[in-house]
Amino acid sequence: MNGSRPDPDELLAQVQAQEVRSHRGKLKIFFGASAGVGKTFSMLEDAQRRKATGVDVVVGYVEPHGRVETERLLMGLEHLPLLVDVAGASGRSEFNLDAALARKPQLLLVDELAHTNLAGVTPEPRHEKRWQDIEEVLEAGIDVYTTVNVQHLESLSDVVARITGAPQRETVPDHVFEAADEVELIDLPPDDLLQRLKGGKIYVPDQAQRALESFFRKGNLIALRELALRKTADRVDQAMRDYRKQEAVQQPWRTRERLLVCVGPDEQAAIMVRAGKRMADALDAEWLVVYVETPALLQLKDAERNRRIDLMRLAESLGAEAITLGGSSAVDEILEYARTRNVTRILVGKPNRRYRLGFLAGRASTTTRLIEQAADFDVVVVGGEVRDPPSAAITSRIDAADHGAGSDKQRWPHFAKAVGATLIATAICWLMEPTFESPNLVMVYLLAAAVVAVRYGRYPAIVTSVLNVLAFDIVFVPPRLSFAVSDAQYLLTFVIMLVVALIISNLAASVRLQAKVAGHRERRTALLYAMSRKLAAARDRKAMEHAAISHVSEVFDCTTALLLPNGAGRVGPSREKHSRDVLTTVDPGAAQWSFDHGRPAGLGTDTLAGTDVVYLPLVGAKAPQGVLAVKPRNRRRILLPEQFRLLETFAAQIAMALERADLADQAHAAELRAETEVVRNSLLASLSHDLRTPLSAVVAGAATLAERMEDMSPDERRSLATTVRRSAMSVSDHVTSVLDLVRLESGSIRLRLDWYEIDDIAATVLHRLRDRLGTRHVVMDIPATLPALHVDGKLIEQLLENLLDNAIKYTPPESEIRLSAVVRGNQIEVAVADNGPGFESVDPEALFRKFERGTKEGTVGGIGLGLAICRAIVELHGGQIHAEERAPHGALIRVRLPLPAQPPAGLRDDD
């Protein structure tokens, strides 16, 4: 169908890769089979040619090894300052990454990509490996020339070690080599190389003389040359394939190969991983490295478990996805996982001798069983150099096995119970013996062993099993009360009793352990969910930070700090209060680096690894949110790849939460701005309507009076002057309202609290409003016993005035306005009700917003600030105000004010 169309994902990947590449500097590697083939020389020649064409070339680090030709080529090139060993003892120096980044040449020359940066120079190199320095240089957009020997490629290091007999410690991850834009093979036939060696043209440090003599044997050189040529050919091949893909030299879409490498805790594992890498490369396949943590493996000594850390890291550095699975059966777990991931091939190691001892428990080796059960996969068995696991591992396994049933403290009571179980079983059998055959008695003993196994673990069960056999022999097998056995048949009974008991106890122990493993994982997952929930529920950043720190600290058994950026993009510790979970010793440089580059730093990473703190960037979807610094109490809790990934998951959750908080803040600010905008607009609209209209009346009326006075009758004049006054008063009222609201809402107002009686204030207000009330009837319902209020009297007066004024404004003459006050709980409720038209389907609550009014534009004046002012006053007093519709019609506004403790009684009257 669409088989000939290029996969869109792949096209996208290509485009992205090109995009990255266009910003990145180009990496050219001068690649050779061994030292002495002339890599540095070729690199410098090339650099000189580039310089001649006007390229800005700078030497970052080149070891001339005292050779004249090399030094001559170095002449005329600018050199960067080096990092120097201050102690000075070794006279060592290092490539200066920061100098390179600051100088920013077009092309930088750095020899020996595989080099491990020395500790002890000042300042401390940022990265452990030179290739990491180079990565950063490339990212800065600087082109780099460098050199690599074939023996330094990670995936080939074991092959090389086998050829030369010397292990390689300085390696370059294959992805660095593969990502190089250009690889130039510097090839020299072995004979010429040996010639150069004899001629002293290859630099050899004195102390390494002998090692090098064995290295530069012709056989070795031929093998290395072949490796280098093959690697280069692979690269060319890959380039060809890429080209074909890119140019849509269309090939049928094929299922991708996916390779799964099974590894165990033994030494074979690293070989397996490298073999997997080579096969995956050859197949152009994705590959996974899977380690199954079975209950048995959980019992391994720490040292062995730590080796797994290295193994998984190696796998990841070679480009594999490293996964740890948990389960009782490695085979089942592997196959299950392989199916879910659409794996096509499974790579397993040759059966280990150790597993052959497993026949006692009826176990075949993992490999054998895997081959039997993996019908739907190609299973590839990798053989070769499988050495016996060191005897220490076996001992440790046996030691570890001892821990199966728990700690020493618990064990002795368990053994006592084991003895007790045998005694009880014997007692029961004693009672049964007259009526039951002896095979049934055996059943009772087996039951006892099974119960002990399930309850107390393997070793008490073994004790019970052995004691059972002895007890059965002594008490029930003739001749009684002696070890002697008259009937040889019973020997078989003993053996079967023992074996069955052992198998049961083993199974029971596995079940217990597996439950423990499952419980552990479940707990971790639960904690992740718990943190997500806490983060989601956190109402402010403070609560969020606290939730993040306490959860991470708990799950990973560590101290934790959150470093959040300030406005200038510098991260610093949050102000979480000190507790045992909070990490206080943070390296700001490492944290900043992690924040800036969005990559982890510190412990267990390749960057600034000389610390015991891990720095994880909190990368949000839009912007980096900060850095999570974690200092583990137990390194394994962090460094295992799946633990590290779990930590990253936590970090991602935290980042998301922080980003969400950020967005919420922004949204809130935007909302505020929008609201301000709305208020400003309605203020302008109100002002233009409610001020301009009466002002026009004032101006026009006064002008008429001034200019046409003589033409008017006294009544006309009076009427016009009255209009002018009414309009002016209305302008004055509006302005006063606006000013009042501003004053009330500015927060600058200080309440002048004193004791007031509401009826007193009401009376004053009604006295003032007496003209405006006209024929409206006011009913006061304020009990004489109503307690006094502790309020700002002037403001409460204004409140009542506004409420009553509002009632007057919106009711026709002859209406009834009811003013009542009553104690409700710990509040005094003051209500103003009328029997006018009510709010007429306007949302009553909206009335309290600024510039709203019951009826739109028109007959009734007032900007609609009255109720907003009321709300401001009530809220200043810690009260609430609500409006509601009254049945059958009318408006009701309730104000609730806190009921204060009452003042002392009045002064005694001397009557």
Nearer to other proteins, 74 or 766 (CB): 766
Nearer to other proteins, 589 or 900 (CB): 900
Exactly one of 728, 751, 842, 846 binds other proteins (CB under 8 A); that residue is: 728
Q: Tell me which stretch binds other proteins (CB under 8 A): 37-45, 276-284, 432-440, 754-762.
A: 754-762
252 lies in the binding site for other proteins (CB under 8 A): no
3-state percent breakdown (helix, strand, coil) of the chain, nearest 5: 55, 15, 30
903 lies in the binding site for other proteins (CB under 8 A): yes
Torsion of CA 346, 347, 349, 350, to 10 degrees: 70
Give the distance from CA 752 to its chain's centroid: 52
Round to whole Å and give the CA distance between 170 and 858: 87
Exactly one of 763, 822, 823, 860 binds other proteins (CB under 8 A); that residue is: 763
Task: Tell me the C-alpha to C-alpha distance, in Å, between residue 906 and each of 390, 391, 420, 902, 910.
Answer: 98, 98, 86, 11, 12
736 lies in the binding site for other proteins (CB under 8 A): yes
Round to whole Å and give the CA distance between 132 and 605: 11
Nearer to other proteins, 574 or 730 (CB): 730
Site for other proteins, residues 771 to 830, rule: CB under 8 A: 780, 782, 788, 793-794, 796-797
Q: Tell me which stretch binds other proteins (CB under 8 A): 221-229, 481-489, 532-540, 728-736.
A: 728-736
DSSP secondary structure letter of residue 633:
S
Exactly one of 162, 752, 777, 889 binds other proteins (CB under 8 A); that residue is: 752
We find the least distance from the C-beta atom of residue 906 to other proteins, in angstroms, to be 4
We find the least distance from the C-beta atom of residue 621 to other proteins, in angstroms, to be 52
758 lies in the binding site for other proteins (CB under 8 A): no
Exactly one of 23, 677, 755, 898 binds other proteins (CB under 8 A); that residue is: 755
Residue 606, SS3?
A: coil
Nearer to other proteins, 700 or 782 (CB): 782
DSSP secondary structure letter of residue 580:
T
We find the least distance from the C-beta atom of residue 695 to other proteins, in angstroms, to be 14
Q: Is the peptide bond before 844 cis (omega within 30 degrees of 0)?
A: no
> What six digits make up the tokens of 910?
């001397």
We find the least distance from the C-beta atom of residue 821 to other proteins, in angstroms, to be 12
Is the separation of the CB atoms in 56 and 107 below 8 Å? yes
325 lies in the binding site for other proteins (CB under 8 A): no
355 lies in the binding site for other proteins (CB under 8 A): no
Nearer to other proteins, 666 or 732 (CB): 732
Exactly one of 248, 398, 669, 729 binds other proteins (CB under 8 A); that residue is: 729
We find the least distance from the C-beta atom of residue 823 to other proteins, in angstroms, to be 18
Name, in order, each residue with C-beta under 8 angstroms of 85's C-beta and a sequence gap of 6 or more. 91, 92, 93, 118, 120, 121, 122
Nearer to other proteins, 623 or 763 (CB): 763
Name, in order, each residue with C-beta under 8 angstroms of 552's C-beta and a sequence gap of 6 or more. 531, 558, 560, 628, 630, 647, 650, 654
Name, in order, each residue with C-beta under 8 angstroms of 238's C-beta and a sequence gap of 6 or more. 178, 284
We find the least distance from the C-beta atom of residue 753 to other proteins, in angstroms, to be 11
DSSP secondary structure letter of residue 116:
B
Nearer to other proteins, 149 or 737 (CB): 737
Instruction: Tell me the number of residues near other proteins by CB under 8 A.
Output: 34
Nearer to other proteins, 474 or 702 (CB): 702
Torsion of CA 548, 552, 555, 557, to 10 degrees: -140
As a three-state string, the secondary structure of 542-578 is HHHHHHHHHHHHHHHCEEEEEEEECCCCCEEECCCCC
We find the least distance from the C-beta atom of residue 814 to other proteins, in angstroms, to be 18
705 lies in the binding site for other proteins (CB under 8 A): no
As a three-state string, the secondary structure of 145-177 is EEEEEHHHEHHHHHHHHHHHCCCCCCCECHHHH
Nearer to other proteins, 230 or 725 (CB): 725
Exactly one of 443, 756, 816, 886 binds other proteins (CB under 8 A); that residue is: 756
Q: Tell me which stretch binds other proteins (CB under 8 A): 473-481, 519-527, 708-716, 762-770.
A: 762-770
Give the distance from CA 746 to its chain's centroid: 42
Q: Tell me which stretch binds other proteins (CB under 8 A): 34-42, 472-480, 684-692, 722-730.
A: 722-730
572, β-bridge pairs? 564
We find the least distance from the C-beta atom of residue 755 to other proteins, in angstroms, to be 4
740 lies in the binding site for other proteins (CB under 8 A): yes
Round to whole Å and give the CA distance between 429 and 446: 12
Exactly one of 642, 760, 816, 885 binds other proteins (CB under 8 A); that residue is: 760
Nearer to other proteins, 481 or 907 (CB): 907
β 614-619/121-122 pair status: unpaired
Exactly one of 91, 200, 434, 906 binds other proteins (CB under 8 A); that residue is: 906
Q: Tell me which stretch binds other proteins (CB under 8 A): 354-362, 548-556, 640-648, 901-909.
A: 901-909
717 lies in the binding site for other proteins (CB under 8 A): no
We find the least distance from the C-beta atom of residue 617 to other proteins, in angstroms, to be 56
Exactly one of 116, 306, 510, 764 binds other proteins (CB under 8 A); that residue is: 764
Nearer to other proteins, 707 or 910 (CB): 910
Kindly give the residue spans of alpha helices, DSSP state H, lying in 433-457. 438-456
Nearer to other proteins, 567 or 906 (CB): 906
We find the least distance from the C-beta atom of residue 910 to other proteins, in angstroms, to be 6
Q: Tell me which stretch binds other proteins (CB under 8 A): 148-156, 164-172, 272-280, 760-768.
A: 760-768
We find the least distance from the C-beta atom of residue 580 to other proteins, in angstroms, to be 54
We find the least distance from the C-beta atom of residue 907 to other proteins, in angstroms, to be 4
Q: Tell me which stretch binds other proteins (CB under 8 A): 201-209, 315-323, 525-533, 753-761.
A: 753-761
911 lies in the binding site for other proteins (CB under 8 A): yes
We find the least distance from the C-beta atom of residue 788 to other proteins, in angstroms, to be 7
We find the least distance from the C-beta atom of residue 820 to other proteins, in angstroms, to be 12
Is the separation of the CB atoms in 201 and 66 below 8 Å? no
Name, in order, each residue with C-beta under 8 angstroms of 635's C-beta and a sequence gap of 6 or more. 603, 604, 612
DSSP string over 707-770: HHGGGS-HHHHHHHHHHHHHHHHHHHHHHHHHHHHHHHHTS-----EEEE-HHHHHHHHHHHHH
Round to whole Å and give the CA distance between 132 and 616: 18
> What six digits make up the tokens of 599?
């990559």
Round to whole Å and give the CA distance between 193 and 189: 6
Q: Is the peptide bond before 898 cis (omega within 30 degrees of 0)?
A: no
757 lies in the binding site for other proteins (CB under 8 A): yes
Kindly write out the interface string for residues 629-658 of this chain, putting x where it contacts other proteins by CB under 8 A and - elsewhere: ------------------------------
Q: Tell me which stretch binds other proteins (CB under 8 A): 88-96, 168-176, 528-536, 755-763.
A: 755-763
Name the burial class of residue 825, with classes exposed (0-12), middle (13-18) and buried (19+) by CB atoms within 10 angstroms of its CB.
Answer: exposed
Is the separation of the CB atoms in 527 and 547 below 8 Å? no
At residue 106's C-alpha, the angle toward residues 100 and 111, to 5°, is 55
626, β-bridge pairs? 618
Which residues make up the interface to other proteins (CB under 8 A)? 725, 728-729, 732, 736, 739-740, 743, 752, 754-757, 759-764, 766-767, 780, 782, 788, 793-794, 796-797, 903, 906-907, 909-911
